[in-house]
Copies of this chain bind each other. A is one copy, B any other.
Amino acid sequence: MSDLRERAAELDAADPLHAHVDRFVPAAGVRAYLDGNSLGRPLSSTVDRLGDFVRDDWGTRLIRSWDEGWMERPFELGDRIARLTLGAAAGQTLVADSTTVLLYKLLDAAAGARADRHEIAIESTNFPTDRFIAHAVAERRGMTLRWIDADPVTGVSPEQVDRAVGEQTAVVLLNHVDYRSGSIADLTAITARVHTSGALMLWDLCHSAGVVPVDLDAADVDLAVGCTYKYLNGGPGSPAFGYVAARHQENLRQPIEGWMGAGNVFAMAREYTPAAGMRRFLSGTPPILGMLAIDDMLDLIEEAGVDAIRAKSISLTSFVVSAADELLPGVRLLSPRDAALRGGHVTLGHPDFESVVRTLWGEGIIPDFRYPDGLRLGLSPLSTTHAEALEGVLAIRDALGA
């Protein structure tokens, strides 16, 4: 155990991103925050940014700010997320709505673009909102769901996708990084298999953006949706991002056609005509306040570099896996052992974990619980140290032994 403490200290000392940890708001009473994959910590600069915004922008420029920048914010911020974390050229990404709502809009648009086909393919144990939304879209369009049964730890394989899709498949919706196991799907190979069948591929990047680099343009991805309140630290309920490849934009119609997606917002025309480009995927007034904090995190991501972030992420999760091997003999590893196949979080399994997580929270150790018996350790690379991660594993050991 003292070896592990020494090892954590060595890893932190050698970590080129270690100093960035001090840029986050200090959390009094928290010994280890291990849920950055659920809600990222705010940067200290965000405290002033929000107050300054209220005083100098909203409070002083008032309605003029819509013309002076706010109308373009969904696209500027989307392009910045795209450039820094998605491998996507400008003009294909926006920030809007909740992840659930934007997923509904893009999945429905994709299904509509393949209206002669009757199936939506989805993983059986996908994140609930993805499954619920797939069901809602399928019901709306008289389509059926095709379930792909993947291994809960290693996730969905290209071969499984290949077997599931066919000439009736309109669109495939999968998570790039699984919300439970953290397993990384082979985005490039799966996208290619889906295209062979003539279907569209929609990736859910909620657990990827900001921690596992993706290359949407190079992989020829059609659509993607993701979350900004995890590794992009946008704050609770900050809006989603959505990507639609440029080649598809003019052919897709989303279902919630509102004034902000219309060709001329203020012409007050009787008929809706979709705007050109990504604007047509907007519905209502952009949630400007909810977009502010994301820029602080993107500043830091740009400074640190995504490759260094991924390297630290691998270091953190590998260290946790080896610490769990040593300290938690009765616990199952519910994440891939191969770091190349693992995203930013590690999930462990034990029948007592529901009560263990309650105990840990009371001690200022904050992982989260995932039904039925998973304890998930989310290790946000820019705000988490190896020593902090070890605190978490040690506390689990103590709680299990108690």
Contact = CB atoms under 8 A, between A and B. Distances in A.
Interface of A: 24-30, 33, 35, 38-39, 41-42, 46-48, 50-51, 53-55, 58-60, 62-66, 70, 97-101, 104, 124, 127-129, 131-133, 135-136, 140, 229, 235-240, 255-260, 262, 266-272, 283-290, 293, 361, 366, 368, 370-371
A334 to B, nearest CB: 14
Residue from the set A38, A258, A259, A371 with the largest chain B CB neighbour count within 10 Å = A258
Given A98-B284, A283-B101, A290-B287, A257 B59 contact: no
Contacts of A258: 98, 100-101, 104, 129, 132-133
A237 B100 contact: no
Contacts of A127: 259
A38 B63 contact: yes
A237 B286 contact: yes
Contact of A290 (B47, B100, B229, B290): B290
Contacts of A97: 97-98, 101, 284
Contact of A30 (B27, B60, B271): B60
B54 A133 contact: no
B256 A100 contact: yes
26 contacts: A24-B59, A25-B58, A26-B60, A30-B60, A35-B63, A39-B63, A42-B55, A42-B59, A48-B51, A50-B289, A63-B366, A97-B101, A98-B284, A98-B285, A101-B101, A101-B256, A128-B268, A132-B272, A133-B258, A236-B287, A237-B284, A237-B289, A239-B287, A240-B284, A268-B371, A289-B289
A63 B360 CA distance: 13
Contacts of A58: 25, 39, 42, 235-236
Contacts of A46: 54
Instruction: Give this chain's copy count.
Output: 2
Given A132-B257, A284-B97, A51 B47 contact: yes
A257 B128 contact: no
B288 A237 contact: yes
Contacts of A272: 128, 131-132, 135-136
A143 to B, nearest CB: 14
A178 to B, nearest CB: 13
A383 B133 CA distance: 42
A25 B285 contact: no
Contacts of A54: 25, 42, 46-47, 50, 235, 293
Contact of A25 (B42, B59, B368): B59
A60 B255 contact: no
B255 A287 contact: no
B62 A140 contact: no
Given A62-B30, A286-B237, A289-B290, A55 B100 contact: no
Residue from the set A28, A62, A127 with the largest chain B CB neighbour count within 10 Å = A62
A238 B292 CA distance: 13
B25 A60 contact: yes
A238 B63 contact: no
